[in-house]
Structure 1
Amino acid sequence: MSVEAELTAVVREPERVRAKLAERAAAEHSVYADTYYDRPDHSMDRDGYELRVRRITTGEDRRVVLTYKEPPVDEASRSKPEHETTVADPEVMGTIFEGLGLVELISLEKHCDNYRFTADGREMLATVVTVPELDGRTFIEVETMADPDDLTAALASVRAVLDDLGVTEDDAVDESYTDMVARGRER
């Protein structure tokens, strides 16, 4: 089982952070159109599970990824075991989920600049994210995959990358994008 060791934070100086990341890797701009599914009683979300169909558009390239995440194994970072595969047709996945009794929990769009590089001997993905519905705020996600018994060390490596970018623990985000968007839609 692989765990996505990930930390998310608000970025107070987006252009400075992008410039620092550009020293490590070229940016790849993508738009993610995410649809999350759940049981009608929202028990998957409540219990920490995620089932997502993501449409990724990068330039002229389009692909679809199905992701299933289990509850967090580390509450502080919300790092979760993650299972992911590509799928050909997102509409078919929606039909299958509906046939299984699932409902759409929420859909949202993320604009992402992805930077892939190695740090502390680990393959890292740093993503600078804007979610149009979140008032122009910019976020950063830094992640690496780890075995459960290596999670603490992996999170320390992720934290070191954030520190190098000038993103402090005070900038940490404890709430998911889906929760932030849902709260904004309730207003």
Structure 2
Amino acid sequence: MAIEAELKAVVRDPEGVMEALEKTHGYGRPEVYKDTYYDASDSALSTGDRELRIRTVHSAGDTRTVLTYKGARLDEASGSKPEHETRVEDAAAAHAILRGLGYRPAIEFEKRCRNYTFDHAGRRMLATLVRVPELDGTFIEVETAAETEVELPEALAAVWTVLEGLGIAEADLTTELYTDAVAAAR
């Protein structure tokens, strides 16, 4: 089981954080995510702290779609969850399959991202600066994979050192889901 070991924070100095990331890890990849989260008619997924999403990613010269399922949180402090993800060839067919299985779109929104991929502490890391048009502010997500729950604390410690190095304060960490924040903003 792969676990997404991730920490998310509000960014107080977006330009400074972007400059620090680019100085250390090169130019970030700008991408726009079009996310559709699905749920059962009885909201069984969201009430069980699980997520089912189709994401179409638009970047310079490329568009790709991924189907993601995230299980319930394994770590309340970080919000880290088991994650299973696969690329799909036909976004319209993937949406039709989920609807045909009885899932309904629960919420859709866009994320404007700048992604940085790098190695740190012997791990592959992804740092993403995020703007959601419907929300105030900029966020940063830093993630790596943990293979087991036992490995999760070590993975999260490595993620935290990246955030600290970017000047992110512990008080700026958040586990609020974008889905909840966007729903509240609407």
TM-score interval, normalised by the smaller of the two chains = over 0.9
Distance 1:44 1:169 in 2: 30
| Aligned positions of 1:1-187 closer than 5 A | 1-25=1-25, 26-135=27-136, 137-148=137-148, 149-185=150-186
Aligned length: 184
Q: State the identity %.
A: 51
Work out the CA distance in 1 between the residues paired with 2:105 and 2:171: 33
Q: Deviation of residue 24 (structure 1)?
A: 2.3
Give the distance between the partners of 2:68 and 2:24, measured in 1 at CA. 27
Q: Distance in 2 between matches of 1:142 and 1:174?
A: 13
Structure 1 residue runs of 5 or longer lacking an equivalent are none
Look up the SS of the partner of 1:97 in the other structure: helix
SS in structure 1 at match of 2:151: helix
Counterpart AA for 2:121: D
Secondary structure at 1:23 match in 2: helix
Q: Quick check: 1:128–1:139 contact (8 Å CA) kept in 2?
A: yes
Q: 1:78 is matched by which residue type in structure 2?
A: G
Measure, in 2, the Cα distance between the counterparts of 1:54 and 1:38: 15
SS in 2 for 1:16: helix
Show structure 2 runs of 5+ residues with no match: none
Using the alignment, how far apart are the partners of 2:121 and 2:80 within structure 1?
19
Cα deviation, residue 174, structure 1 = 2.2
State how far apart, in whole Å, the 2-side matches of 1:87 and 1:155 are. 29
RMSD: 0.8
Native 8 Å contact 1:24 1:117 kept in 2: no
CA distance in 2 between partners of 1:79 and 1:16 (Å): 26
CA contact (8 A) 1:3 1:82 kept: yes
Q: Deviations over 1:1-55 (max 9, x none)?
A: 1100000000000000001111222200000000000001211011111110000
Specify the SS of the correspondent of 2:135: coil
Distance 1:88 1:134 in 2: 30
